[in-house]
Chains A and B, each alone.
Chain A
Amino acid sequence: MTNGTGSGRVPLPPALREGLLAHPVPAPPLASPGRRSLVVLAVAAATAAVGLATRGLRPDLAELGTSAWIEAGLRTGLGALLFALALRAGIPGAGPARAWGRAALVAAPIVLLAVIDWAVPIGGHSPVGSDSAGWWSGALRCFPVETSLALPAALLAGALLARAYPLRPVFAATAGATGAALVADAVMHLTCPARMWTHTGLVHGGAVAAVALLGALLGLAMRGKTRTAAR
């Protein structure tokens, strides 16, 4: 490593010289956003496997047919897309256009939680179940389970973003956390026997929203760090 004594035509201002000393090199480039998002996806998948193994598949899965697996697959796929968007947003100039990013972040959970859960025509999954218990009966059980399943991947995504340099940290962290929440929601979809949309929408959806909010808070913390870093 050299000590920076080269003779540039324009002398380096003192603030930049201090910055060079504070942030040493070599500093190899980070792995591509694609590879980093695959790491997050792998952690989410591993957590999902643990969730499926410990909770067991829902007893009415055979009755639901392939639609249940399709819906779980859609959730996982959208979660993976959000991982990719989030990690790309960690690179200056590489993130998605604002309109596309907002659309993905807002549309994905809305489509999955509101449309698919409520009005899905696939297979025999009735949007209005016949559960006798109220939606709150499983809330205390499902909400913490789903958020726990989402946390490892959400926190990993946040950590990877913190090592990068997201110029839109709130969007990036929220997208990563929402992706993790959607993969966890896929697990709940395959393990929770509740059919009432008031349960799947409010309780499971509430867990997705809570994890997304956690991501937003992480993003706010990163934004503060980024703003003060260059002073």
Chain B
Amino acid sequence: MAETDRSADSAGVELAALMRRYQDGDAAAFEELYAEANGIVEGYLRRMAPAEAVPDLAQETFLHVIRARRTYRPDRPFLPWLFAIARHVVMGSRRRWARRWSKEIGMDAYPDGLAMDTPRDPVEKRRVERALETLPPEHRELAWLAWVEGLTSKEISNVTGATPGAIKVRLHRLAKRLRGVLEPRDADGKAAS
């Protein structure tokens, strides 16, 4: 089974705690939440929208977070909830401004055990991000959610609305496509066995 990305989990737990504090009445916690999560949201949005639109879309996402504040349940993971809102915002912007991508972004499934661990090392993470830039725009979203943010196929299903099975199939195809790029590498940059 693929290892869990501890950093992504930790970030999600910290953000969930801030959201709970905000719900409990600590408005300052929202400022901390914004400070911590804005970069994550913008990173996700960059895969889905033109760079010049990302700051405005990120701000609109957090406005929606404020309005939807009562719908976050502390017993649920925070990041899928946040990404679902961000996705809603960017899809709305697409409908308003352009119809570049006509299809839902869907990814092929890949078995949970496939060795596509979410990279923990910042250098490795950057290598993955550069590899994702080679993908067509409609594939970047799921690849980002799976291999940079570390969401499970079920969580990605919650964000995108596609079925977990469809997501697994598409991620599997992408994994095959990016295998040469995303294989773990040793200190010399050679593919690790």
Q: Which residues of A contact B (CB under 8 A)?
A: 1-6, 8-10, 12-13, 15-16, 19-20, 22-23, 25-30, 32, 90-95, 97-100, 163-165, 167-168, 226-227, 229-230
14 contacts between A and B (CB under 8 A): A4-B27, A4-B28, A6-B31, A16-B62, A25-B22, A25-B69, A26-B25, A29-B73, A93-B158, A97-B162, A163-B70, A168-B161, A227-B92, A230-B89
Interface size on B, residues (CB 8 A): 47
With the chains together, A61 CA to B116 CA distance in Å?
A: 61
Q: Which 9 residue pairs spanning A and B have beta carbons closest together?
A: A6-B28, A93-B84, A4-B27, A26-B25, A165-B68, A8-B31, A230-B63, A93-B158, A92-B84
Interchain CB contact under 8 A, B26 and A2 = yes
**A25-B69, A92-B71 are known contacts. Are A10 and B38 too (CB-CB below 8 A)?**
yes
Q: List residues 83-110 of chain B with CB under 8 A from any CB of chain A.
A: 83-85, 88-89, 92, 104
Interface residues of B (CB under 8 A from A): 22-32, 34-35, 38, 59-60, 62-64, 66-74, 76, 80-81, 83-85, 88-89, 92, 104, 155, 157-159, 161-164, 166
- Name the CB-closest residue of A to B159: A93
In the complex, which of the residues A5, A12, A91 contacts B71, with contact meaning CB atoms closer than 8 Å?
A91
- Asked whether, in the complex, the Cβ of B28 is within 8 Å of the Cβ of A28, the reply is no
Asked if residues A15 and B85 are in contact (CB atoms below 8 Å), the reply is: no
A3 near B67 (CB under 8 angstroms)? no
Inter-chain contact A23/B66, CB cutoff 8 Å:
yes
Query: B67, A29: Cβ atoms under 8 Å?
Result: no
* Distance, CA A9 to CA B35, complexed state (A): 6
Given the contacts A29-B71, A29-B74, A15 and B163 also touching, CB distance less than 8 Å: no
Q: Are A164 and B25 in contact (CB under 8 A)?
A: no
Complex CA gap A93/B89 in Å reads 13
Which residues of B are found within 8 Å of A1, using beta-carbon distances?
25-27
Task: Identify which of A2, A15, A226 contacts B27 (C-beta below 8 A).
Answer: A2
Residue on A nearest B80 in the bound complex, by CB:
A93
Shortest A53–chain B CB gap in Å is 37
B27 touches A25 (CB 8 A): yes
Write the chain B residue with the least CB distance to A6.
B28
Residue from the set B63, B157, B159 with the largest chain A CB neighbour count within 10 Å: B63
